[in-house]
Amino acid sequence: MSVGFGNWLDERIGWRKVWDAIFLRKIPKVNWLYTLGSATLFVALLQGITGILLTIYYVPTPDHAYDSVVFITTQVPGGWFIRGVHSWGASAMVLLSVLHMVRVIMYGAYKYPREVTWFTGVGLLLATMGFGFTGYLLPWDQKAYWATIVGTRIAGVAPFIGEPILRIMRGGEDLSAVTLARFFGTHVWVLPTILLLFLGFHMYLVIRLGISAVPGKEE
């Protein structure tokens, strides 16, 4: 970006203040454990990119879901790699999210004035778990089918509200085309929207309040 164009754009949208607030803010002396949040964000972006690429070929119907996954893996150039990154990235995202939360608890980073940052982080963790659960069914193979049977049944044993939740998740009494469509819609539309909202607010709070120092090293 040339200096002249940068000045012209800054006068109109003030991008330099945003840049300074994000990349030139002062942070305390930290260690490698503080990279877990950034690593989770990187994996989330990777999941979004690979997920979009997979939806180009994936067909969310019981008759074609499995065949479309096989086609992606065996026929689409680089499809095996994209699916592999997305599959392993799902596990990595859950693991990194949990480790990030553990680091926050160990270092007391959830305390004043960062309580709301903690709440948004919990929301992000729950959304991540939701991605893992809804995405597991999409290949529509035997492992995915029976794992979802068990997973939805666990929700169904909750007192009073278990059965309604079970029917809502499955779209009926049993797993069917409605279940697959419902899980697919939740995976590619509902959860990404929730994730983006929580992530945007979470990042705003991290930039506004800063990050906590390592215990015992506060300036």
- Average pLDDT of the residues of the chain: 94
CA 211, distance to chain mean position in Å, is 21
Q: For residue 219, is pLDDT > 60?
A: no
pLDDT tens track for 53-104? 999 999 999 999 999 999 999 999 999 999 999 999 999 999 999 999 999 9
Q: For residue 218, is pLDDT > 80?
A: no
CA 54, distance to chain mean position in Å, is 16
HEC states along the chain?
CCHHHHHHHHHHHCHHHHHHHHHCCCCCCCCHHHHHHHHHHHHHHHHHHHHHHHHCCCCCCCCCHHHHHHHHHHCCCCHHHHHHHHHHHHHHHHHHHHHHHHHHHHCCCCCCCCHHHHHHHHHHHHHHHHHHHHHHHCCCCHHHHHHHHHHHHHHHCCCCCHHHHHHHHHCCCCCCHHHHHHHHHHHHHHHHHHHHHHHHHHHHHHHHHCCCCCCCCCC
Spatial distance between the Cα atoms of 154 and 174, rounded to a whole number of angstroms? 14
Mean pLDDT, residues 109-122 taken together: 96
Q: For residue 217, is pLDDT > 80?
A: no
Q: Homologous superfamily of 29-209 in CATH?
A: Cytochrome Bc1 Complex; Chain C (1.20.810.10)
pLDDT value for 135: 98
Tell me the one-letter amino acid at 145.
Y
Q: Residue 45, exposed/middle/buried by CB under 10 A (0-12, 13-18, 19+)?
A: exposed
pLDDT tens track for 23-38? 888 888 889 999 999 9
pLDDT value for 21: 85
